Amino acid sequence: MGLSCYQKISKAQNKIKSLECGFPCYLTRACIFNAFLILCAVNAAFGQVSLLDKVISIPKQNTTVYEALNLISQKADCLFLYESETVESDKRVKLHADNQPLHTVLDNLLSDPSLEYKVLGKHVLICKARAEATPVSNFQAVNRLKDTARNIIIKGHIYDRENKAAIPYATAVIVEENIGTVTNSDGFFMLKIPATLAGTSLVVSHLGYMSQSVPVSLLNGQQLDFYLDRRVISIQEVIIRYIDPNVLIEKAMDQRKVNNALDPAYLTTFYREGVRKNDKYISYSEAVFKIYKSPYTAGERADQVKLLKSRKIQDSNPRDTVFLKLKAGVQAALQLDIVKYIPGFLDQSTPVEYTYKYSDLVSYNAKDAYAVTFVQNTDLKKPLYTGTVYIEKDGFALLGADFEINPAYLDLAAENLVLKKSSRLIVKLEKITYSVSYLPFNGRYYLSHVRCDIQVKTRLKNHLSSDNFYTFLELATCNIDTAGVVKFPRQEILKPGIVFSDQPYNSNDAFWGDYNTIAPEAKLNEALSKIIGKIEEIE
């Protein structure tokens, strides 16, 4: 293409030289130069779509469609986007390419004329060809136009490329605007963004994986599978030296003044909590909050919560209930902000209650991070924590932590967590885990996602059978706003302990409008679909 451009311009130059039309020489040269720029622009435009014409060769082999697409992506230096329901990824196929263009290799591999390929940069979207639109009324057309103009809805699953396992609590974020969500335990997410962000990119990431950036323009109206590659940090990238874990913790706490917000911000968050008895959900609540998030330097009671929407289901009787003290639900979630509410494992004042160990250099939400593990000192016989904290390698920002109450002292922890129970009921805590993460926005880190999971086993005295209770709470920041942030009027503030209305639940997307939520897991979704009732909307 470059050679043909040169030839065309040469012919044009010869022709122009033979003309005697009286144009000044500099105008003639300007015309030639402009023609050259136009042709080069056309050439560049064709280069963007030429990926499907790229010639590749692959030896004969029997494999799955999934493995075949992975191999083709390596040969063609591209990234495929598709949904497993659209592309039968587990299907056994014969793969062979002998100096064939990419589109031919894909046609032979997939053998489905209903599929089409859309290319943007190095991304190739494999999707069903759009069918002819059925006639709609003017009213329907106007409504669809309004919906399209207002929002883009992105859906997908995030998997481990190596073993195809779902990745729970992975982040899906529009980095430019810090609008995002997290995947549920099935690796599924749904994200609503304004249509004005069609030119941005969605970034999906998780601890230990390479992040992936995909143009939003390829994702609108699609439900796709994202496969993340595991991040392996080469030993050549690491200078072998002793790293003092205590110094890392101390440095991270000191650098809060640089890495964390010194001014308040509004966080639009999605909150949910649930209780399951054995295999049956007996309680589930969810809400959208607008949080006045004070800087970490403010007092512990400086944060404010305003309830925007909520709904709740209850499918239990008094005998099902084990009361657990969760510090008033959302308050417990806010107190998992370990930058503000400093837990013992980040407190370096004497006496230090924990022993620290530098564990590894890992990838945490696309950033290199030091992983520091901690356990309580052996001479302490009380329920403290054990876990891992992640500290950014370059700026020493606190990126997150995964921790739990020391399993050896769970029985002692029960005294503080069990608020009320029958004298005939024996309650045994099985496991209590916590997770918290932060994401950057405008050069500062903000609370991104917190989760608490509690497993309890109960048994009536003189009975052999027992029941397993599982309860969780989760809060995810979906949007951050730092402009014009002021405290809420007193009458709008959510009172501690009063979080949800007592109304039944009925799935209704219109209820949430433009708000982002965390999709229920498959089992939870199935349980909720069996419950019929009214819904109360709070705005």
What pLDDT score was predicted for residue 46? 42
Number of Cα atoms under 13 Å in the Cβ half of residue 190: 14
Q: What is the DSSP letter of 132?
A: P
Q: Which amino acid is at 279?
A: D
**pLDDT for position 451:** 92
CA 1 to chain centre: 42
Per-residue pLDDT band for 507 (boundaries 50, 70, 90) equals very low
The whole-angstrom separation of Cα 357 and Cα 388 is 9
- The residue extents of the domains of the chain are 2-51, 54-128, 142-228, 237-529
Residues 294-317 have pLDDT tens digits of 999 998 788 999 988 887 777 666
Pinpoint the alpha helices (H) of 50-136: 65-76, 102-110
Same fold, 54-128 and 142-228: no
Pairing of strands 418-420, 444-460: unpaired
pLDDT at 180: 87
How large a percentage of the chain has pLDDT more than 70?
A: 74
Q: Residue 342: is its pLDDT beyond 90?
A: yes
Name, in order, each residue with C-beta under 8 angstroms of 384's C-beta and a sequence gap of 6 or more: 344, 345, 353, 354, 376, 405, 406, 409
In one-letter notation, the amino acid at residue 74 is: Q
Please report which confidence band the pLDDT of residue 360 belongs to, taking 50, 70 and 90 as the band edges. Answer: confident
Of 177 and 19, the one with more pLDDT: 177
Q: Is the pLDDT of residue 447 over 70?
A: yes
Confidence of residue 287 (pLDDT cuts 50, 70, 90): confident
Question: Distance (Å, rounded) from C-alpha 412 to C-alpha 305?
Answer: 32
Which range of 1-5, 159-163, 424-428, 444-448 scores highest in mean pLDDT? It is 444-448
Helices 102-110/65-76 angle, 10° precision: 180
pLDDT digits (tens, 9 = 90+) for 90-138: 889 999 989 999 999 999 999 888 889 988 888 899 988 865 544 444 4
- pLDDT for the residue numbered 139: 43
- Per-residue CA distances from 20 to 15, 23, 27, 236, 395 (Å): 10, 8, 14, 66, 67
> Which of 299-308, 371-380, 505-514 has maximum average pLDDT?
371-380
How many whole angstroms separate alpha carbon 340 and alpha carbon 336? 9
* 225 within 8 A of 86, measured Cβ to Cβ: no
Q: Do 400 and 367 contact (CB within 8 A), yes or no?
A: no
Taking the C-alpha atoms of residue 124 and residue 69, their distance in angstroms, rounded to an integer, is 11
What's the gap between Cα 193 and its chain centre? 14
CATH topology of domain 142-228: Immunoglobulin-like (2.60.40)
Give the neighbor-by-neighbor strand order of the sheet with 123-128.
Answer: 79-81, 123-128, 115-120
Nearest alpha-carbon partner for 260 in 488, 442, 401? 442
The CATH topology of domain 54-128 is: Phage tail protein beta-alpha-beta fold (3.55.50)
Least confident of 111-120, 305-314, 456-465, 522-531: 522-531
Tell me the whole-structure pTM to 2 decimals.
Answer: 0.73
Looking only at the bridges linking them, the beta strands covering 418-420 and 323-324 are: antiparallel
Maximum mean pLDDT: which of 193-207, 375-389, 455-469: 375-389
Q: What is the pLDDT of residues 386-401, one digit of tens each?
A: 999 999 999 999 999 9
Percent of the chain with pLDDT over 90: 30
Section 481-500 average pLDDT: 79
Span 157-173, average pLDDT: 90
Q: Among the ranges 276-290, 499-513, 518-532, which has the highest mean pLDDT value?
A: 276-290
> E strands within 161-200?
171-174, 179-182, 188-194
**How many secondary structure helices (H) and strands (E) does the chain include?**
11, 24
Average per-residue pLDDT for the chain: 78
